[in-house]
Amino acid sequence: MSILLLLFNILVYFVDPVSSDRCGVADTMPSACANGWSSSQNYGYICPQMAMYSDSMEAAARMDFPETTTFVYATAGGEKDEECGKCYQVQVLDAEEQWKPNFPLLVVQIINSGFDVLPHQLDLFMGAGGFGYFTACNSDCRSRACEGGTCGGPGMFSGTFDDWNDPQYADPNPCYSGGIKWLNGTTTEENLYQSCLKLNRGNLSTIAAKATYDSCVRSNLQLFHQNFVSTNSKRVRCPPALVDVTMMQRADDANYPHPDPSLQLDLVCRGDRSRGRYCVTTMQDCCKPSCAWSGKAETVLGMDCVATCDRDGNVVGK
Protein backbone atom coordinates (compact mmCIF):
# COMPACT_ATOMS: atom_id res chain seq x y z
CA MET A 1 0.00 0.00 0.00
CA SER A 2 1.33 3.47 -0.86
CA ILE A 3 2.12 5.98 1.89
CA LEU A 4 -0.49 8.40 0.49
CA LEU A 5 -3.23 5.75 0.54
CA LEU A 6 -2.28 4.73 4.07
CA LEU A 7 -2.44 8.35 5.27
CA PHE A 8 -5.80 8.79 3.54
CA ASN A 9 -7.29 5.80 5.31
CA ILE A 10 -5.92 6.94 8.68
CA LEU A 11 -7.65 10.28 8.15
CA VAL A 12 -10.91 8.57 7.17
CA TYR A 13 -10.84 6.26 10.19
CA PHE A 14 -9.82 8.69 12.90
CA VAL A 15 -10.70 12.24 11.83
CA ASP A 16 -13.91 12.03 9.81
CA PRO A 17 -16.72 13.48 12.00
CA VAL A 18 -19.34 12.90 9.29
CA SER A 19 -19.18 9.15 9.93
CA SER A 20 -20.16 9.62 13.57
CA ASP A 21 -23.04 11.90 12.57
CA ARG A 22 -24.06 9.28 10.01
CA CYS A 23 -24.56 6.63 12.68
CA GLY A 24 -26.46 9.01 14.92
CA VAL A 25 -28.87 9.85 12.10
CA ALA A 26 -29.24 6.19 11.10
CA ASP A 27 -30.00 5.13 14.68
CA THR A 28 -33.25 7.13 14.51
CA MET A 29 -34.43 5.38 11.32
CA PRO A 30 -36.45 2.15 11.60
CA SER A 31 -35.97 -0.67 9.15
CA ALA A 32 -38.35 -0.81 6.19
CA CYS A 33 -39.02 -4.44 7.09
CA ALA A 34 -41.75 -5.75 9.37
CA ASN A 35 -39.67 -5.08 12.48
CA GLY A 36 -39.76 -1.32 11.87
CA TRP A 37 -42.43 1.36 11.82
CA SER A 38 -42.28 5.12 11.32
CA SER A 39 -45.03 7.72 11.32
CA SER A 40 -42.80 9.94 9.16
CA GLN A 41 -42.25 7.20 6.54
CA ASN A 42 -38.51 7.79 6.95
CA TYR A 43 -37.22 4.23 6.62
CA GLY A 44 -33.76 2.72 6.34
CA TYR A 45 -32.69 0.05 3.85
CA ILE A 46 -29.63 -2.04 3.08
CA CYS A 47 -27.12 -0.38 0.73
CA PRO A 48 -27.04 -2.44 -2.50
CA GLN A 49 -23.55 -1.17 -3.28
CA MET A 50 -22.42 -3.61 -0.55
CA ALA A 51 -23.70 -6.52 -2.66
CA MET A 52 -21.23 -9.04 -4.06
CA TYR A 53 -19.88 -8.02 -7.51
CA SER A 54 -21.37 -4.53 -7.43
CA ASP A 55 -19.12 -1.89 -9.02
CA SER A 56 -18.27 -0.54 -5.55
CA MET A 57 -17.19 -3.93 -4.21
CA GLU A 58 -15.17 -4.78 -7.31
CA ALA A 59 -13.44 -1.39 -7.20
CA ALA A 60 -12.64 -1.87 -3.50
CA ALA A 61 -10.95 -5.21 -4.18
CA ARG A 62 -8.89 -3.68 -7.00
CA MET A 63 -7.83 -0.78 -4.77
CA ASP A 64 -6.70 -3.02 -1.91
CA PHE A 65 -5.07 -5.62 -4.16
CA PRO A 66 -4.05 -3.85 -7.39
CA GLU A 67 -1.51 -6.52 -8.34
CA THR A 68 -3.84 -9.52 -8.18
CA THR A 69 -7.42 -10.68 -8.73
CA THR A 70 -7.17 -13.27 -5.96
CA PHE A 71 -10.01 -11.95 -3.81
CA VAL A 72 -13.68 -11.22 -4.34
CA TYR A 73 -15.24 -8.93 -1.73
CA ALA A 74 -18.62 -9.67 -0.17
CA THR A 75 -20.78 -8.85 2.82
CA ALA A 76 -22.96 -11.31 4.69
CA GLY A 77 -25.29 -12.07 7.52
CA GLY A 78 -23.93 -14.03 10.47
CA GLU A 79 -25.44 -15.81 13.43
CA LYS A 80 -25.28 -13.05 16.07
CA ASP A 81 -24.79 -9.30 16.37
CA GLU A 82 -21.54 -10.03 18.21
CA GLU A 83 -20.16 -10.81 14.72
CA CYS A 84 -20.91 -7.29 13.41
CA GLY A 85 -17.98 -5.85 11.48
CA LYS A 86 -15.78 -8.96 11.53
CA CYS A 87 -14.05 -9.99 8.31
CA TYR A 88 -13.18 -13.50 7.16
CA GLN A 89 -11.08 -14.90 4.36
CA VAL A 90 -13.14 -17.76 2.94
CA GLN A 91 -12.58 -20.71 0.65
CA VAL A 92 -15.85 -22.21 -0.62
CA LEU A 93 -16.10 -25.99 -0.99
CA ASP A 94 -18.65 -28.46 -2.39
CA ALA A 95 -21.16 -26.38 -4.35
CA GLU A 96 -24.78 -27.44 -4.03
CA GLU A 97 -25.53 -27.27 -7.77
CA GLN A 98 -22.53 -26.54 -10.00
CA TRP A 99 -18.78 -26.59 -9.31
CA LYS A 100 -15.90 -24.99 -11.18
CA PRO A 101 -12.20 -25.49 -10.47
CA ASN A 102 -11.32 -21.83 -9.97
CA PHE A 103 -13.70 -20.33 -7.42
CA PRO A 104 -11.79 -17.33 -6.03
CA LEU A 105 -11.12 -16.71 -2.35
CA LEU A 106 -13.60 -14.39 -0.66
CA VAL A 107 -13.09 -11.63 1.87
CA VAL A 108 -16.41 -11.28 3.67
CA GLN A 109 -17.50 -8.69 6.24
CA ILE A 110 -20.46 -9.39 8.56
CA ILE A 111 -23.11 -6.67 8.26
CA ASN A 112 -26.20 -8.42 9.57
CA SER A 113 -27.44 -11.20 11.83
CA GLY A 114 -30.44 -13.49 11.77
CA PHE A 115 -31.91 -16.21 13.94
CA ASP A 116 -32.22 -18.44 10.85
CA VAL A 117 -28.44 -18.24 10.21
CA LEU A 118 -26.57 -21.13 11.82
CA PRO A 119 -23.18 -21.02 13.60
CA HIS A 120 -20.30 -20.52 11.11
CA GLN A 121 -22.78 -19.96 8.26
CA LEU A 122 -22.32 -16.95 5.95
CA ASP A 123 -25.45 -15.60 4.26
CA LEU A 124 -23.87 -13.76 1.31
CA PHE A 125 -25.59 -10.55 0.19
CA MET A 126 -26.09 -10.44 -3.59
CA GLY A 127 -28.63 -9.19 -6.12
CA ALA A 128 -31.83 -11.31 -5.95
CA GLY A 129 -30.06 -13.73 -3.64
CA GLY A 130 -33.36 -14.90 -2.17
CA PHE A 131 -35.68 -13.58 0.51
CA GLY A 132 -35.33 -14.57 4.13
CA TYR A 133 -37.44 -14.03 7.21
CA PHE A 134 -38.04 -10.35 6.39
CA THR A 135 -38.67 -8.82 2.98
CA ALA A 136 -38.59 -5.19 1.83
CA CYS A 137 -37.39 -5.43 -1.79
CA ASN A 138 -40.58 -6.08 -3.77
CA SER A 139 -43.15 -3.40 -4.54
CA ASP A 140 -45.97 -5.56 -3.15
CA CYS A 141 -44.17 -6.40 0.11
CA ARG A 142 -47.13 -5.13 2.13
CA SER A 143 -49.21 -8.03 0.79
CA ARG A 144 -46.59 -10.58 -0.39
CA ALA A 145 -43.98 -11.22 2.26
CA CYS A 146 -42.29 -13.93 4.30
CA GLU A 147 -42.63 -15.30 7.83
CA GLY A 148 -41.55 -12.01 9.38
CA GLY A 149 -44.65 -10.25 8.15
CA THR A 150 -45.34 -7.53 5.60
CA CYS A 151 -42.94 -4.63 5.22
CA GLY A 152 -43.23 -1.51 7.35
CA GLY A 153 -42.09 0.88 4.64
CA PRO A 154 -42.45 0.78 0.86
CA GLY A 155 -40.50 -1.80 -1.12
CA MET A 156 -37.10 -0.69 -2.38
CA PHE A 157 -37.75 -1.78 -5.99
CA SER A 158 -40.68 -1.80 -8.43
CA GLY A 159 -40.56 -5.53 -9.26
CA THR A 160 -43.17 -7.77 -7.62
CA PHE A 161 -42.72 -10.74 -5.30
CA ASP A 162 -42.92 -13.11 -8.27
CA ASP A 163 -40.21 -11.16 -10.14
CA TRP A 164 -37.86 -11.78 -7.20
CA ASN A 165 -38.47 -15.53 -7.05
CA ASP A 166 -37.40 -17.67 -10.02
CA PRO A 167 -39.93 -20.47 -10.62
CA GLN A 168 -37.15 -22.62 -12.09
CA TYR A 169 -35.99 -23.22 -8.53
CA ALA A 170 -39.38 -23.15 -6.82
CA ASP A 171 -39.34 -24.17 -3.18
CA PRO A 172 -42.34 -25.09 -0.99
CA ASN A 173 -41.41 -21.91 0.86
CA PRO A 174 -40.79 -19.25 -1.85
CA CYS A 175 -38.92 -17.08 0.65
CA TYR A 176 -36.09 -19.60 0.51
CA SER A 177 -36.25 -20.45 -3.19
CA GLY A 178 -32.93 -18.73 -3.86
CA GLY A 179 -34.14 -15.80 -5.94
CA ILE A 180 -32.82 -15.55 -9.51
CA LYS A 181 -30.52 -18.48 -10.36
CA TRP A 182 -28.60 -19.23 -13.56
CA LEU A 183 -27.08 -22.69 -13.19
CA ASN A 184 -26.34 -25.75 -15.31
CA GLY A 185 -27.47 -24.10 -18.53
CA THR A 186 -31.10 -23.86 -17.41
CA THR A 187 -31.57 -20.55 -19.22
CA THR A 188 -29.68 -18.28 -21.62
CA GLU A 189 -27.57 -15.31 -20.59
CA GLU A 190 -30.11 -13.04 -22.27
CA ASN A 191 -32.86 -14.50 -20.07
CA LEU A 192 -30.65 -13.91 -17.03
CA TYR A 193 -30.22 -10.24 -17.97
CA GLN A 194 -33.98 -9.86 -18.43
CA SER A 195 -34.73 -11.56 -15.12
CA CYS A 196 -32.34 -9.23 -13.29
CA LEU A 197 -33.81 -6.19 -15.09
CA LYS A 198 -37.32 -7.14 -13.92
CA LEU A 199 -36.26 -6.57 -10.31
CA ASN A 200 -36.74 -2.85 -10.93
CA ARG A 201 -38.75 -3.05 -14.15
CA GLY A 202 -35.75 -2.10 -16.30
CA ASN A 203 -35.04 1.19 -14.51
CA LEU A 204 -31.32 1.39 -13.68
CA SER A 205 -31.25 5.12 -12.91
CA THR A 206 -30.60 4.83 -9.16
CA ILE A 207 -27.53 3.64 -7.27
CA ALA A 208 -29.62 0.87 -5.70
CA ALA A 209 -31.03 -0.42 -8.99
CA LYS A 210 -27.71 -0.42 -10.85
CA ALA A 211 -25.83 -2.16 -8.01
CA THR A 212 -28.54 -4.82 -7.62
CA TYR A 213 -28.67 -5.51 -11.36
CA ASP A 214 -24.87 -5.80 -11.66
CA SER A 215 -24.69 -8.07 -8.62
CA CYS A 216 -27.55 -10.26 -9.86
CA VAL A 217 -25.92 -10.79 -13.27
CA ARG A 218 -22.28 -11.13 -12.21
CA SER A 219 -22.81 -13.34 -9.17
CA ASN A 220 -24.84 -15.70 -11.34
CA LEU A 221 -22.27 -15.78 -14.15
CA GLN A 222 -19.56 -16.52 -11.57
CA LEU A 223 -21.70 -19.38 -10.12
CA PHE A 224 -21.89 -17.82 -6.65
CA HIS A 225 -25.69 -17.71 -6.80
CA GLN A 226 -25.99 -21.04 -5.01
CA ASN A 227 -25.34 -22.65 -1.64
CA PHE A 228 -22.01 -24.19 -0.63
CA VAL A 229 -21.93 -27.17 1.69
CA SER A 230 -18.54 -26.50 3.31
CA THR A 231 -15.95 -23.76 3.83
CA ASN A 232 -12.51 -23.13 5.25
CA SER A 233 -12.04 -19.64 6.67
CA LYS A 234 -10.02 -17.40 8.97
CA ARG A 235 -10.70 -14.12 10.76
CA VAL A 236 -8.70 -11.38 9.04
CA ARG A 237 -8.25 -7.64 9.23
CA CYS A 238 -10.88 -5.84 7.16
CA PRO A 239 -9.18 -4.25 4.12
CA PRO A 240 -9.42 -0.42 4.02
CA ALA A 241 -11.33 -0.07 0.75
CA LEU A 242 -13.89 -2.65 1.86
CA VAL A 243 -14.40 -0.66 5.07
CA ASP A 244 -14.88 2.46 2.92
CA VAL A 245 -17.92 0.75 1.38
CA THR A 246 -19.45 -0.75 4.53
CA MET A 247 -18.37 2.15 6.81
CA MET A 248 -17.81 -0.05 9.88
CA GLN A 249 -14.50 -1.12 11.43
CA ARG A 250 -14.01 -2.93 14.72
CA ALA A 251 -11.44 -1.76 17.26
CA ASP A 252 -9.93 -5.26 17.48
CA ASP A 253 -9.26 -5.45 13.72
CA ALA A 254 -5.53 -4.78 14.13
CA ASN A 255 -5.16 -8.05 16.07
CA TYR A 256 -5.71 -10.10 12.93
CA PRO A 257 -3.62 -10.76 9.80
CA HIS A 258 -4.22 -9.06 6.48
CA PRO A 259 -5.94 -11.22 3.86
CA ASP A 260 -3.34 -13.28 2.04
CA PRO A 261 -3.67 -16.32 -0.25
CA SER A 262 -0.98 -18.08 1.78
CA LEU A 263 -2.91 -17.93 5.09
CA GLN A 264 -3.84 -21.22 6.69
CA LEU A 265 -7.63 -21.16 6.92
CA ASP A 266 -8.12 -22.90 10.24
CA LEU A 267 -11.86 -22.36 10.83
CA VAL A 268 -13.69 -25.34 9.36
CA CYS A 269 -17.40 -25.49 8.57
CA ARG A 270 -18.83 -28.75 7.27
CA GLY A 271 -22.51 -28.80 6.32
CA ASP A 272 -24.86 -31.64 5.52
CA ARG A 273 -26.43 -31.63 2.07
CA SER A 274 -29.00 -34.29 3.02
CA ARG A 275 -30.32 -32.09 5.84
CA GLY A 276 -30.14 -28.82 3.92
CA ARG A 277 -27.36 -27.53 6.20
CA TYR A 278 -25.05 -25.19 4.26
CA CYS A 279 -22.07 -23.10 5.27
CA VAL A 280 -22.74 -20.48 2.56
CA THR A 281 -26.21 -19.32 1.53
CA THR A 282 -27.40 -16.26 -0.42
CA MET A 283 -29.84 -13.45 0.29
CA GLN A 284 -31.16 -10.00 -0.55
CA ASP A 285 -33.88 -8.78 1.79
CA CYS A 286 -33.34 -5.00 1.46
CA CYS A 287 -33.91 -4.53 5.21
CA LYS A 288 -31.71 -2.17 7.15
CA PRO A 289 -28.92 -4.48 8.42
CA SER A 290 -28.81 -5.19 12.14
CA CYS A 291 -25.21 -3.90 12.21
CA ALA A 292 -26.45 -0.52 10.90
CA TRP A 293 -27.34 0.51 14.46
CA SER A 294 -24.38 1.69 16.52
CA GLY A 295 -23.27 -0.01 19.73
CA LYS A 296 -22.99 -3.52 18.31
CA ALA A 297 -19.20 -3.69 18.81
CA GLU A 298 -16.20 -1.70 20.01
CA THR A 299 -15.25 0.22 16.89
CA VAL A 300 -12.70 2.63 15.44
CA LEU A 301 -13.77 6.23 16.04
CA GLY A 302 -16.22 7.36 13.37
CA MET A 303 -16.81 3.83 12.01
CA ASP A 304 -19.47 2.82 14.52
CA CYS A 305 -22.05 1.18 12.26
CA VAL A 306 -22.67 -0.34 8.86
CA ALA A 307 -24.04 2.14 6.31
CA THR A 308 -27.81 2.66 6.02
CA CYS A 309 -29.31 3.76 2.69
CA ASP A 310 -32.52 5.32 1.44
CA ARG A 311 -34.62 3.66 -1.27
CA ASP A 312 -32.36 5.00 -4.05
CA GLY A 313 -29.16 3.70 -2.47
CA ASN A 314 -27.90 7.01 -1.07
CA VAL A 315 -26.03 6.61 2.23
CA VAL A 316 -27.97 8.26 5.07
CA GLY A 317 -26.09 11.04 6.83
CA LYS A 318 -23.05 10.91 4.56
CA distances from 275 to 170, 183, 271, 278 (A): 18, 21, 8, 9
pLDDT score of 268: 94
Average pLDDT over residues 255-259: 97
Top-tier CATH class for 3-304: mainly beta
Q: Where are the domains of the chain?
A: 3-304
Q: Is the pLDDT of residue 83 over 90?
A: yes
Q: pLDDT of 262-310, one tens digit each?
A: 999 999 999 998 888 999 999 998 999 999 999 999 999 999 999 999 9
The mean pLDDT of 145-166, rounded to a whole number, is: 90
170 has a pLDDT exceeding 60 = no
Q: What is the pLDDT at residue 4?
A: 45
* 3-state secondary structure string across 45-107: ECCHHHCCCCHHHHHHHHHHCCCCCCEEEEEEEECCHHHCCCEEEEEEEEECCCCCCCCCEEE
* Banded pLDDT at 158 (limits 50, 70, 90): very high
The tens digit of pLDDT for each residue in 200-214 reads 999 999 999 999 999
pLDDT of residue 5: 44
Q: Tell me 297's DSSP state.
A: S
Q: What's the whole-number mean pLDDT along residues 173-179?
A: 79
